[in-house]
Amino acid sequence: MIQATKDLLKEAEPLFSRILEFEAYPKSLPDVLAMIDGLEPPASWILELPSQIKEGTYKTIPLDLMETAARYIFGQESGIYRVDPPIITQDRNGKFAATVSLSYRLAGDFGIFYLTGVATVTSPNIQGLELATPKAESMAVKNALKKLGGLFGKYLNKVEDQEITEVPQVNLEEKMDSLPETIKKVETLEELKSFKKLVYSKSISHEIQAIYEEKLRFFKEK
């Protein structure tokens, strides 16, 4: 944890003290979550960044700060529990997107419970998926933690969370290809190799890697 994050956490100590003091009573998890939901993050936690999808800005909390605060409140064993293989889509205009779904575990005095997070990041071409996929995973974590409530930025952007660029649903319905299916349809070795870093990222299953390797052997044997 970097020093800047430590300093930001100190500014929230009064809020943490209220939560931890509240936890000392025989209250249920819903009671504590209701309290967290009613709190606002310190102003120093909030970043205001230019929006990439429309004029203006959006507000967000840094991911490392959100995760550190969650571990402080709920337990140090908290973290990503499961990441599903990303779903790669392409709309009729040729733009690609990576959608990541994951489960985030919170483990502490209340036992263990899970939050789910989903995020989609678009890419103008297939090579950009290498960056879009890990970004989608980070954003999915943020979306999961936001479910904890106001202290974690749930209400910073009341109209919409502009941080996530969603693929229009109509385009997803027109063409929905999973990553394995996309790899199977690759027609050149060069195009296949553009998937290499994506396929061997930590969130990809061994089954998908096997499909990639089988396709790689196919091109090498030609």
Query: Between 100 and 204, where is the model more confident?
Result: 100
CB atoms within 10 A of CB 165: 16
Domain residue limits at 203: 178-222
- For residue 89, the cross-strand partners are 97
Radius of gyration from C-alpha coordinates of the chain: 20
Distance, in Å, from the CA atom of 210 to the CA atom of 17, rounded to the nearest integer, reads 50
The verdict on 165 and 202 lying in the same domain is no
The verdict on 88 and 194 lying in the same domain is no
pLDDT score at 195: 77
Mean pLDDT of 67-76: 92
The verdict on 77 and 116 lying in the same domain is yes
> How many domains would you assign to the chain?
2
55: tokens are 């004029």
Distance, in Å, from the CA atom of 212 to the CA atom of 92, rounded to the nearest integer, reads 25
Q: What is the CATH number for 135? A: 3.30.390.80
Distance, in Å, from the CA atom of 213 to the CA atom of 158, rounded to the nearest integer, reads 45
The verdict on 88 and 153 lying in the same domain is yes
The verdict on 136 and 67 lying in the same domain is yes
The tokens 């502490």 sit on which residue? Answer: 108
Q: Is the pLDDT of residue 172 over 60?
A: no
Question: Of the given ranges (21-30, 161-170, 202-211), which has the lowest mean pLDDT?
Answer: 161-170
Q: Tens of pLDDT along 108-137? A: 777 789 999 999 998 888 888 888 899 999
The verdict on 170 and 193 lying in the same domain is no
The verdict on 9 and 113 lying in the same domain is yes
Contacts 24+ apart (CB under 8 A), 30-37: 32/110, 33/148, 33/149, 34/149, 36/73, 36/148, 36/149, 36/150, 36/151, 36/152, 37/148, 37/149, 37/150, 37/151, 37/154
pLDDT score at 159: 61
> pLDDT > 70: what percent of the chain?
84
Average pLDDT, the chain: 81
The verdict on 130 and 149 lying in the same domain is yes
pLDDT bucket at 55, cuts 50 / 70 / 90 = confident
The verdict on 160 and 214 lying in the same domain is no
